Structure 1
Amino acid sequence: MSSLSSLSPAFIYGTAWKKDNTTKLVKEALIAGFRAVDTAAQPRHYREELVGQALREAYKDGVVRREDIYLQTKYTSLAGQDRNNMPYNAADSLQKQIETSVASSLRKLRPLQDSEVGSYIDCVLMHSPLPTLTQTLEAWHVLEAFVPEKILSLGISNVDLETLEQIHKTSKVKPSVVQNRFYPATGHDVELRAFCAENDIIYESFWTLTGNLKLLGCNEIATIAESTGVPAPIALYSLVMNLGIVVLNGTSSLHHMREDREGVEVVKAWARSNPSEWEAVFKSFKGRIES
């Protein structure tokens, strides 16, 4: 079993919108060194069955073992589904919808080709809170029943601080992961990230590049890029990771898969050799996004 907190570098390969290329791209990411994969039981944007196919082929080919991989998927509520293509019946109760969704994920992500024996998921996230807090908490409690036999941990995406606090307060299985957009519109989730840090919750970012294009031209990014020779996006990834954030990376380029992973290691090495310079740049960057 691979731990999300031990990933180095702290990238998760994001599989949204990969369509028919999903199997090919997930295998390429694994070959490039990614050891965490994010998907969802949401056919509208993900091909979860092709993620499972890629993983099984990688296991068979000896690229990785199941225990080397951190694998997370999501239960997506009705609001996020295409009613003509979804993993459960819209007329079913909330409990039945969640149970059917999780069963679908366990089947599609199974490690063995012809059997679901040994199938488990490292983390299942609620893709977003439900329309009411009561429904959100009900859904969370349904997911708790799968832990730890079939699901090892739970999380939530697209969540605000108030909802996260209520889930944490009322749950038996505490949230282990929050996955949110990391961008200026939410103030880069400063208060929410502080709550996560205080309660051993891993914060995962998406839109890390597309939501922060202005940051790519800032002085701190330029300093890291010039000092290490890495492109600006890798400098940004490195500074964000130093905040304790795990970054979703959904590149479809094998070149960028390798360059991104290798690049953040180059920055780490430079930071170890130049601790005072790194600390000054990081302090300035942190102040920029948290002001």
Structure 2
Amino acid sequence: MKKLLLNDGNELPIIGFGTYKSNEEEGVDAVKFALQNGYRLIDTAAFYFNEEAVGKGIKASGIPREEIIVTTKLWRDCLGYGSAKKEFEKSLKKLDLDYIDLYLIHWPANAKNYNNWQKANADTWRAMEELQAEGKIKSIGVSNFWQEHLDALFKTANVKPAVNQIEFHPGYWQPELTAFCQKYNIVIEAWSPLARGRVFDNKTLQQIAKNHNQSIAKVCLRWITQHHVVVIPKSTTHERILDNLNLFDFELTKEEMNLIDNLPEIGFSGELPNIWPERLPVD
């Protein structure tokens, strides 16, 4: 499978396995099945409340630990130096692992929720840098950080974020933020790659899928990978888990890429990092 080189020398497969909303029984089986069938990047978070299930699935898979890249995330209510270290240890214990491959700040502090949001993010990042130096984390990164949050973090960070995981799908792919991150060699990961299912009703995507005799889901995932972005689709259905992994037997043309790039907004979650926990109204 194609891999993307991170700015710290580590690599990420361009397709990972998402576990959001996977419950205990489903989660263990899905992670086990995904790993046994070729996935090597597993994405979870403290806020998903399934780290134990993910850890059990990893153990049950029989795949050597060193072959698996495990991502988890620090929730936004737990930012700060001491809190970050404490929450990291909780995640490590729940996953039943000796180290985490990729640890992300799930959402940045913002002016609505912190008197000094820049310091909250900087202190959190300092704790993560120390955990990385101790060998407990291989790569550190962020999630849902806009340029304003990254610019502020750059002022104090000794280690540049390796990854920024953002909402990225047809109809809402944040091209300016994507270009900014890629300029600074920060790999983008896409969450909600199928726009909460809204992509399936789009006529343009239906036609492109027909052109290639592929599903709309695979067209969307392929479009993401052709932007050199890591995609982490989630499913608990064995057939879909397998299907999502097989994206490279077709390629979208430049014209098709451009058509998808310019689709009107669809499927946007309403989640904005500068006003959480409020959401914008969405259709």
- Whether 1:279 aligns to 2:254 is yes
Q: 1:228 offset after TM fit, Å?
A: 2.6
In 2, the alpha carbon distance for the partners of 1:128 and 1:73 equals 13
**Which one of the candidate residues 233, 237, 255 is aligned to 1:253?**
237
Q: Indicate the residue corresponding to 1:115 in structure 2.
A: none
Q: 1:106 offset after TM fit, Å?
A: 2.3
Counterpart of 1:71 in 2: which secondary structure?
strand
Q: Indicate the residue corresponding to 1:123 in structure 2.
A: 102
Would you say the 8 A contact 1:13–1:248 is kept in 2? yes
Q: Indicate the residue corresponding to 2:145 in structure 1.
A: 159
| Shift in CA distance, 7/137, structure 1 to aligned 2, threshold 3 Å | closer
Q: Indicate the residue corresponding to 2:23 in structure 1.
A: 19
Q: 1:216 offset after TM fit, Å?
A: 5.4
Q: 1:25 offset after TM fit, Å?
A: 1.3
**Which one of the candidate residues 161, 165, 175 is aligned to 1:175?**
161
| Shift in CA distance, 289/242, structure 1 to aligned 2, threshold 3 Å | farther
Residues 247-279 of structure 1 deviation map (CA, whole Å, 9 limit, x = unaligned): 1211111110111212x12224xx6xxxxxx22
| Shift in CA distance, 7/223, structure 1 to aligned 2, threshold 3 Å | farther
Would you say the 8 A contact 1:110–1:120 is kept in 2? no
**Which one of the candidate residues 47, 55, 59 is aligned to 1:56?**
59
Counterpart of 1:179 in 2: which secondary structure?
strand
Once the two structures are superposed, the pairs formed by residues 62-211 of structure 1 within 5 Å of their partners are 64-78=63-77, 94-111=80-97, 119-130=98-109, 131=114, 132-148=117-133, 149-182=135-168, 188-211=173-196
Would you say the 8 A contact 2:162–2:187 is kept in 1? yes
Q: Indicate the residue corresponding to 2:209 in structure 1.
A: 225
Higher helix proportion (structure 1 or 2) = 1
Q: 1:51 offset after TM fit, Å?
A: 0.9
In 2, the alpha carbon distance for the partners of 1:165 and 1:212 equals 33
**Which one of the candidate residues 245, 249, 267 is aligned to 1:266?**
249
Counterpart of 1:188 in 2: which secondary structure?
coil
C-alpha RMSD of matched pairs (Å) = 2.6
Large movers: runs of 4+ above 6 Å = none
Amino acid at match of 1:280: E
In 2, the alpha carbon distance for the partners of 1:101 and 1:22 equals 21
Q: 1:229 offset after TM fit, Å?
A: 1.6
Counterpart of 1:156 in 2: which secondary structure?
strand
In 2, the alpha carbon distance for the partners of 1:281 and 1:214 equals 15
Structure 2 unaligned residues grouped into runs of 5+: 6-10, 266-283
| Shift in CA distance, 212/57, structure 1 to aligned 2, threshold 3 Å | closer
TM-score, with length taken from structure 1: 0.77
Amino acid at match of 1:198: K
Amino acid at match of 1:56: K
| Shift in CA distance, 212/165, structure 1 to aligned 2, threshold 3 Å | farther
**Which one of the candidate residues 47, 50, 60 is aligned to 2:50?**
47
| Shift in CA distance, 153/248, structure 1 to aligned 2, threshold 3 Å | same
State the structure with bigger RCO (CA 8 A, min sep 6), 1 or 2.
2
Would you say the 8 A contact 1:184–1:212 is kept in 2? no
Matched residue count: 251
Would you say the 8 A contact 1:123–1:155 is kept in 2? yes
Identity over aligned residues, as a percent? 26
Q: 1:224 offset after TM fit, Å?
A: 3.6
Q: Indicate the residue corresponding to 1:241 in structure 2.
A: 225
In 1, the alpha carbon distance for the partners of 2:245 and 2:170 equals 25
In 1, the alpha carbon distance for the partners of 2:93 and 2:125 equals 21
In 1, the alpha carbon distance for the partners of 2:4 and 2:183 equals 17
Structure 1 unaligned residues grouped into runs of 5+: 80-92, 112-118, 272-277
| Shift in CA distance, 46/267, structure 1 to aligned 2, threshold 3 Å | farther
